[in-house]
């Protein structure tokens, strides 16, 4: 099993550009999540999907949209990137007891 995979690993965007971060899991998990981690901080939840076809806002959803394409895939879209969205983005999936995290995408917005 590959677990949780994320693409791309690194990305640099200019302010106002758009992009989609991809996440896929091969563990047949129902729930998937997107978090962001700013330097020296803990992770904060952006959006989550409890099951295929459902999505809900987390703590910091502004400026993002998500799509739960199927059970395996959960994408995060930045429609108009801003420097404040410079961060490391982590995707995760579960069921319990733990959440399984991907390796992250380092995004820089200039």
Q: Which of 78, 90, 107, 109 binds another protein (CB under 8 A)?
A: 90
Q: Helix, strand or coil for residue 49?
A: strand
CB of 3 to another protein, least distance (A): 10
Asked whether 4 and 89 are in contact (CB, 8 A), the reply is: no
CB of 104 to another protein, least distance (A): 5
Distances (CA, A) of 8 to 21, 29, 85: 7, 22, 16
Region from 18-26, 29-37, 69-77, 79-87 binding another protein, contact rule CB under 8 A: 29-37
Q: Which of 33, 66, 76, 85 binds another protein (CB under 8 A)?
A: 33
Q: Which of 31, 67, 75, 86 binds another protein (CB under 8 A)?
A: 31
Cα–Cα dist 94/6, whole Å? 16
């Amino acid at each position: 099993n590959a677990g949780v995979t994320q693409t791309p690993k690194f990305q640099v965007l200019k302010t106002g550009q758009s992009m989609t971060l991809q996440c896929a899991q091969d563990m047949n998990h129902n729930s998937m999540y997107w978090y962001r981690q700013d330097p020296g901080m803990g992770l904060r939840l952006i959006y989550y999907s409890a099951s295929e076809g459902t999505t809900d806002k987390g703590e910091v959803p502004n400026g993002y949209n998500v799509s739960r394409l199927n059970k395996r895939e959960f994408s995060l879209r930045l429609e108009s990137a801003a420097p404040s969205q410079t961060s490391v983005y982590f995707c995760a999936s579960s069921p319990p007891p733990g959440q399984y995290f991907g390796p992250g995408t380092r995004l820089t917005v200039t």
